[in-house]
């Protein structure tokens, strides 16, 4: 449906005298254009489109005689009606009333929600204390629980310990509290020359000067600036270049005789570069004074590095920093879906020369294409978790027509398709939320075993099995139900029924005390299939082609586990990848977020590499499962899935979360909560096991930026330590 490509948040008529029609929303496929018609006639409009998320805002002047306003999506001359609005004095008065009164109701509703959250938090606290101690809490633990409760209340009432990186005021506060201290400059034994390569075209004197000054003011001095003017027609651009050319001998400029666009211009700058490394920069952006110093510091830790990239943020025309991008360490599947590396990036020049620099015809996605080709040549890649680059937000680059940015996405698709061909991988690339999703293709369906442990709970198990057998559109699979010492007649009747009904259903007996790891290991040993799915019996399938999609990823040589989007029954997120060290050992990313949220940097809506996926549902090749020794049987109850994922990670495999597959998960129904003292003690033992074995990853998850909070995923700490005050 074309309507899936556009989300309209508001579409209303306003104004009693000077009337206008206002629309804002998000268009997720930029190959479509938006057309406004008034009483059947197409009208012109002004449009603002921030590149970051492709949100658009349209304002169309209207007269009191205009009656019907229509919004269409258009591609290849085909129009599809998306939205209609009637213009009348009554409708404009209603809009004015809504705009004036609704915010008051929203505030009242917000207060009730805060009160509700407080009561929920208080009730859960009392329930926990009764469950664990019957309210007779040891004096030594009262302090800890009171601080935990205070932190939760601070969070609920909005003056909490967290900041939202997407909110400019929050990010500004975080900068003040976290970026005050300047690092003492040290001398290095290895001081490579870095050539900053910058294509230039019709940029103002002010912005170009600020860009060049940010390089000249670096604390590290062994650099050169290689500029290629792409036949600018703006006099002040040429004048500024000539001025700076005389100012510093490290500035080198080539004046192109013909405009060739960004790829050719950047290649011209690379041709005059003499450094061991090149740094990529746009002609209106800034780097921090220590940017090159931090790069060389990383190179002194490992001289063999070929690629180093940093975090970045954006700089608006008022000089305010916003929209930080705190990135993960190198994530190959994340890179296939989007150019998350972007700025600031420094590359070994010999490899850039080897792969032919930037390719003409990929403009708009030229950096992405270069990074995909570059990372096929080397895995010596490092990430610096510091903002070293400020990406300038210029009205000229954002106030564009939606359709004018479609070329960038088309070039991006072409870049990813080319990468798959070079790597000998069959796949179909599509655009999703301004990024890319790959459907991996194969000629023959590999065999898959779906392993489902259960102890009684026939009703839950039946729902799970029915959803699999009724919805799955994959043929070459079997379901292996692992009976862990059940006693209820209902389950035995269910087993008998399904054995008669389905040839690809079988049962494995595991008569023993509960040990999740051992139960699954026993089942895997009975399998001859190519791929294994570990699945909880309290899940319900939503996506019909789940196996087809998951196995496409699991077939890739570099991929370990393939995790999916798991939802609570209320359509909020239970699992969208696992981050380590948050709230203790590990935590699910974006817990309780809305099902269709994009998530920070699109992490909910797009495939991303994570350190781990939940064992409630993931796929892995049986060969890789056995290669790491299966699930750790010393971890009987908790963290066995995390341990398994990390064993794959240490073998060089990448685990991936994919949002294309969705299931409902009625969490912990079978096993129940750890309410008894014995289970709680076992939980603590397994927690200590993980802390000792995987301290490296728990302290520093490579796929979770260290600037984010360790108390809650993908937020920033406010800088106030409530736990130690």
Q: Are residues 370 and 482 in the same domain?
A: no
217 and 277 assigned to the same domain: yes
Residues 597 and 712 in one domain: yes
Please state the domain count of the chain.
Answer: 4
- pLDDT at position 89 is 79
| CATH number of the domain where residue 8 is located | 2.60.40.10
Last residue of a domain, one of 67, 92, 117: 92
User: What is the per-residue pLDDT for 114?
Assistant: 61
Do 72 and 208 belong to one domain? no
Q: Which domain holds residue 139?
A: 104-158
Q: Is 290 exposed, middle or buried (0-12, 13-18, 19+ CB in 10 A)?
A: middle
Looking at the fold, whether 516 and 651 belong to one and the same domain comes out as yes
Q: Would residue 45 count as lying in a domain?
A: yes
Residue 233 lies in a domain: yes
Which among 399, 418, 433 is the end of a domain? Answer: 399
CATH number at residue 253: 3.90.550.10
Do residues 131 and 246 share a domain?
Answer: no
Q: Which two tokens stand for residue 297?
A: 């510091």
- Dump strand ranges (E) for 67-177: 68-75, 78-86, 162-163
Q: Looking at the structure, do residues 359 and 453 belong to the same domain, yes or no? A: no
The answer to whether residue 166 sits within a structural domain is: no
Same domain, 19 and 67: yes
**Residue 410 domain-assigned?**
no
Does residue 296 fall inside a structural domain? yes
Classify residue 612: in a domain, yes or no.
Answer: yes
pLDDT, block means (10 residues), the chain with 725 residues: 56 77 64 77 61 55 83 76 80 72 61 67 70 64 67 58 85 82 81 97 94 96 96 95 94 95 96 97 94 97 97 88 94 95 96 96 93 97 96 57 60 94 95 85 96 92 95 96 91 93 94 92 96 95 96 97 94 94 91 86 92 96 97 91 97 96 75 53 84 95 94 82 38
Other Cβ atoms less than 10 A from the Cβ of 402: the count is 20
590 vs 121: CA distance, rounded Å: 19
> Does residue 23 share a domain with residue 85?
yes
- Cα(562)–Cα(531) distance, rounded to whole angstroms? 11
pLDDT recorded at residue 699 = 94
Whether 51 is covered by a domain: the verdict is yes
Identify the CA nearest to 241 among candidates 219, 256, 223, 220. Answer: 256
Q: What is the pLDDT of residue 121?
A: 67
Largest CA distance in the chain: 90
Q: CA end-to-end span of the chain, whole Å?
A: 54
45 and 113 part of one domain: no
pLDDT for 725 equals: 35
- Are 223 and 275 in contact by the 8 Å Cβ rule? The answer is yes
**Domain co-membership, 114 together with 262:** no
Same domain, 594 and 623: yes
Predicted confidence at residue 400, as pLDDT, reads: 33
- Please report the pLDDT score of residue 447 as a whole number: 97
Look at residue 419 and tell me if it is in a domain: no
Let me know: does 639 contact 687? Beta carbons within 8 Å. Answer: yes
Domain boundary among 71, 92, 113: 92
């Amino acid at each position: 449906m074309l309507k899936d490509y556009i989300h309209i948040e508001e579409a209303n008529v306003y104004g009693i005298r000077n009337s206008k029609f206002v629309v804002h929303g998000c268009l997720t496929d930029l190959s479509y254009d938006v057309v406004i018609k008034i009483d059947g006639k197409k009208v012109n409009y002004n449009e603002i489109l921030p590149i970051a998320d492709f949100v658009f805002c349209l304002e169309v002047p209207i007269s009191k005689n205009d009656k019907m306003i229509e919004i269409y999506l258009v591609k290849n001359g085909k129009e599809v009606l998306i939205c209609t609005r009637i213009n009348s004095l009554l409708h404009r008065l209603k809009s004015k009333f809504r705009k004036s009164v609704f915010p008051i109701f929203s505030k009242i509703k917000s207060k009730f929600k805060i009160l509700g959250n407080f009561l929920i938090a208080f009730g859960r606290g009392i329930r926990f204390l009764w469950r664990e101690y019957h309210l007779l809490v040891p004096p030594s633990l009262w302090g800890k629980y009171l601080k935990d409760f205070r932190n939760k209340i601070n969070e609920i009432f909005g003056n909490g310990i967290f900041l939202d990186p997407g909110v400019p005021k929050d990010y500004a506060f975080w900068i003040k509290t976290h970026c005050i201290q300047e690092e003492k400059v040290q001398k290095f034994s290895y001081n490579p020359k870095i050539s900053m390569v910058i294509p230039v075209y019709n940029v103002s004197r002010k912005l170009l000067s600020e860009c060049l000054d940010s390089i000249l003011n670096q604390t590290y001095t062994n650099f050169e600036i290689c500029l290629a003017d792409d036949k600018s027609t703006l006099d002040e651009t040429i004048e500024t270049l000539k001025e700076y050319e005389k100012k510093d001998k490290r500035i080198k400029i080539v004046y192109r005789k013909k405009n060739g666009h960004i790829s050719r211009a950047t290649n011209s700058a690379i041709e005059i570069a003499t450094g061991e490394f090149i740094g990529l920069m746009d002609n209106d952006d800034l780097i921090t004074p220590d940017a090159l110093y931090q790069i060389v510091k990383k190179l002194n830790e490992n001289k063999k590095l070929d690629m180093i990239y940093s975090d970045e943020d954006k700089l608006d025309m008022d000089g305010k920093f916003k929209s930080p991008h705190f990135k993960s360490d190198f994530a190959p599947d994340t890179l296939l879906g989007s150019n998350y590396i972007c700025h600031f990036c420094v590359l070994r020049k010999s490899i850039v020369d080897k792969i032919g620099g930037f390719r003409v015809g990929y403009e708009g996605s030229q950096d992405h294409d270069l990074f995909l080709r570059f990372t096929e040549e080397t895995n010596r890649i490092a990430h610096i978790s510091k903002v070293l680059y400020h990406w300038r937000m210029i009205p000229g680059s954002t106030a564009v027509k939606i359709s004018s940015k479609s070329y960038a996405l088309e070039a991006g698709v072409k870049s990813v398709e080319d990468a798959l061909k070079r790597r000998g991988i069959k796949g179909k690339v599509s655009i999703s939320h301004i990024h890319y999703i790959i459907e991996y293709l194969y000629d023959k369906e590999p065999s898959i075993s779906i392993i489902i442990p259960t102890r009684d709970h026939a009703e839950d198990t039946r729902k799970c099995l029915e959803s699999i057998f009724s919805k799955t559109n994959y043929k070459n699979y079997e379901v292996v139900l692992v009976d862990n010492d059940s006693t209820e007649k209902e389950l035995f009747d269910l087993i008998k029924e399904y054995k008669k009904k389905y040839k690809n259903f079988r049962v494995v007996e595991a008569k023993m005390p509960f040990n999740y790891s051992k139960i699954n290991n026993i089942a895997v040993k009975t399998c001859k299939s190519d791929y294994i799915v570990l699945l909880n019996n309290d899940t319900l399938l939503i996506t019909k082609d789940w196996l087809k999609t998951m196995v496409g990823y699991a077939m890739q040589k570099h991929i370990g586990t393939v995790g999916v989007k798991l939802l609570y029954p209320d359509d909020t997120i239970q699992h969208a990848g696992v981050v380590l060290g948050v709230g203790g050992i590990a935590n699910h990313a974006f817990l309780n977020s809305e099902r269709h949220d994009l998530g920070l940097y699109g992490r909910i809506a797009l495939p991303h590499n994570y350190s781990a996926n939940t064992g409630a549902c993931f796929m892995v090749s049986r060969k890789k499962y056995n290669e790491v020794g299966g699930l750790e049987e010393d971890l009987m109850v908790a963290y066995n899935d995390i341990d398994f994922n990390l064993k794959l990670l240490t073998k060089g495999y990448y685990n991936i979360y994919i949002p294309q597959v969705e299931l409902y998960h009625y969490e912990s129904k079978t096993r129940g909560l750890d309410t008894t003292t014995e289970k709680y003690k076992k939980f603590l033992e397994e927690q200590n096991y993980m802390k000792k074995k995987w301290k490296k990853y728990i302290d520093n998850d490579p796929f979770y930026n260290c600037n984010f909070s360790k108390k809650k995923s993908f937020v920033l700490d406010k800088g106030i330590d409530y736990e130690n005050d």
